[in-house]
């Protein structure tokens, strides 16, 4: 039994969330501060909020976007935070006097989501966490560990160019899944409502022609995304997270409707039972920070 404590920190473009957890992952304290751009500001804020959590943590885990070198604790090219390069693991570790592990934010959220729904997951199961946020990416947890791959692009399903609408993506390609399924893309396709997806669903159900057109585009892309990760990773569960997951059950229903439409003409797809594998992430909880705490070194 692990009797130590750990701090987990989730850094976003506008806020930084932190938790203090015990060795079993139970949350003992939480905190939140605004995010400030700039490498020095981010470093100072990580140190400050880690200390604010109190307790006597044995290690700290930090989840954040951009290019994350988890082995060396270096983060690069975080555009929203104006960071070119930061040796966050080493510098924060020296200041705090404990090991600091840096992790990709989606991977951290995947660990957090798995921990919060682990009553459904076996020891050898694979779980895919789909982060429908500003962009689209997947975190893959296998046997309780995050999969990282060779180059750091593992789980970058948002940049698979399969959408027939061929919208230009920020990565330079056309037709990426992210151009029709991320929170940012839905806001561009349907710049109404706050947030836009619930408004889009309501207007489509009411028979609005333009809403029905956009709804169809988004729905098709969401189902494509689920199929891609299901057939690439064959996970026990596919967890839907990110800002769009706050839509709740209507998001799941939207995906299931399209999957069942496809199943009607494909016995192969029907045999995969994809609707049964879908779960909503517990977005009311700080899953990114919890996952970051779980990623903290157990030394």
Give per-residue pLDDT as tens, 233-250.
999 999 999 999 999 999
Phi, psi of 69 (to 5 degrees): -95, 95
> Mean pLDDT for the chain?
94
β-bridge pairing 126-132 and 136-142: antiparallel
Same fold for the domain at 5-109+285-295 and the one at 119-280? yes
Phi, psi of 2 (to 5 degrees): -90, 115
Q: Note the pLDDT tens digit of each residue in 74-100.
A: 999 888 899 999 999 999 999 999 999
* Domain 119-280: CATH architecture, name and number where available: 2-Layer Sandwich (3.30)
Rounded CA gap, 102 and 68, in Å? 7
Rounded CA gap, 175 and 159, in Å? 8
Share of the chain above pLDDT 70, in %: 100
Q: Note the pLDDT tens digit of each residue in 116-157.
A: 987 777 778 999 999 999 899 999 999 889 998 877 778 999
CA 131 to chain centre: 4
Q: Structural domain boundaries of the chain?
A: 5-109+285-295, 119-280
Q: Answer yes or no: is pLDDT of 1 > 90.
A: no
Q: Answer yes or no: is pLDDT of 11 > 80.
A: yes
pLDDT of residue 276: 97
Rounded CA gap, 263 and 208, in Å? 27
Other C-beta atoms closer than 10 Å to the C-beta of 151 total 8
Q: Note the pLDDT tens digit of each residue in 175-229.
A: 999 999 999 999 999 999 889 999 999 999 999 999 999 999 999 999 999 999 9
CATH of domain 5-109+285-295: 3.30.420.40
Rounded CA gap, 186 and 195, in Å? 10
């Amino acid at each position: 039994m692990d009797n130590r404590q750990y701090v987990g920190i989730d850094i976003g473009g506008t806020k930084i969330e932190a938790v203090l957890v015990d060795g079993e992952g139970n949350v003992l304290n939480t905190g939140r501060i605004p995010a400030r751009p700039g490498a020095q500001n981010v470093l100072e804020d990580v140190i400050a909020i880690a200390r604010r959590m109190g307790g006597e943590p044995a290690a700290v885990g930090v989840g954040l976007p951009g290019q994350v070198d988890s082995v060396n604790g270096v983060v690069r090219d975080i555009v929203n935070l104006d960071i070119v390069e930061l040796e966050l693991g080493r510098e924060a570790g020296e200041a705090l006097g404990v090991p600091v592990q840096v992790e990709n934010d989606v991977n951290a959220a995947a660990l957090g989501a798995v921990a919060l729904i682990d009553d459904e997951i076996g020891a050898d199961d694979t779980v895919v966490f789909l982060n429908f946020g500003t962009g689209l990416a997947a975190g893959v947890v296998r046997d309780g560990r995050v999969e990282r791959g060779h180059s750091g692009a593992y789980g970058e399903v948002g940049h698979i160019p399969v959408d027939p609408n061929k919208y230009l993506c920020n990565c330079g390609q056309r037709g990426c899944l992210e151009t029709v399924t991320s929170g940012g893309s839905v806001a561009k396709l349907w710049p109404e409502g706050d947030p836009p997806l619930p408004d889009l669903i309501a207007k489509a159900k009411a028979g609005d022609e333009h809403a029905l057109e956009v709804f169809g585009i988004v729905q098709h892309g969401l189902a494509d995304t689920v199929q891609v990760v299901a057939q690439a990773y064959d996970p026990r569960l596919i967890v839907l997270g990110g800002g769009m997951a706050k839509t709740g059950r209507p998001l799941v229903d939207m995906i299931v409707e399209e999957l069942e439409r496809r199943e009607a003409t494909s016995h192969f797809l029907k045999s995969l039972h994809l609707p049964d594998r879908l779960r909503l992430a517990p977005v009311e909880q700080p899953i990114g920070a919890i996952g970051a705490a779980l990623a903290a070194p157990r030394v």
